[in-house]
């Protein structure tokens, strides 16, 4: 991943123009972009469901699962769940 060619703003523009997504997908994706930027643009991010739900302002686990699955299906992210809150799941942005 090269942040100079794939800035968070360019990635945000890509999803914002996609008619297949709604505001919930954009909220989650925007938070993932902010985590990616804070990490120094590391290839993979370790995250927890609780962290993502809080950052995206989700109160429903169902909404979270639908959104994370849709982002994976639409190939915005690679999502590798661990089902272990202490270990954290892996998310990689597809550029």
Domain range annotation of the chain: 8-93
Q: Is there a contact between 95 and 11 (Cβ–Cβ < 8 Å)?
A: yes
CATH class of this structure's domain 8-93: mainly alpha
DSSP structural state of residue 43: S
Predicted pLDDT at 52: 97
Q: Is there a contact between 88 and 82 (Cβ–Cβ < 8 Å)?
A: yes
Radius of gyration for the alpha carbons in the chain, expressed in angstroms and rounded: 12
Predicted pLDDT at 86: 84
| Report field, pTM of the whole predicted structure over 0.75 | yes
| 65 confidence band (pLDDT: 50, 70, 90) | very high
- Written as six digits, the tokens of 65 are 């699962």
Other CB atoms within 10 A of residue 82 CB: 12
pLDDT in tens, 3-58: 545 577 888 888 988 999 999 999 999 999 999 999 999 999 999 999 999 999 99
Alpha-carbon distance of 61 to 49, in angstroms, equals: 9
């Amino acid at each position: 991943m090269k942040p100079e060619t794939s800035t968070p703003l360019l990635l945000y523009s890509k999803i914002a123009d996609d008619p297949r997504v709604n505001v919930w997908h954009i909220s989650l994706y925007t938070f993932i972009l902010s985590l990616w930027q804070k990490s120094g643009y590391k290839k993979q991010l370790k995250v927890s469901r609780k962290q993502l739900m809080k950052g995206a302002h989700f109160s429903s686990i169902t909404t979270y699962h639908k959104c994370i699955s849709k982002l994976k299906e639409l190939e915005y992210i690679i999502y590798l769940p661990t089902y272990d809150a202490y270990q954290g799941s892996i998310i990689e942005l597809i550029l």
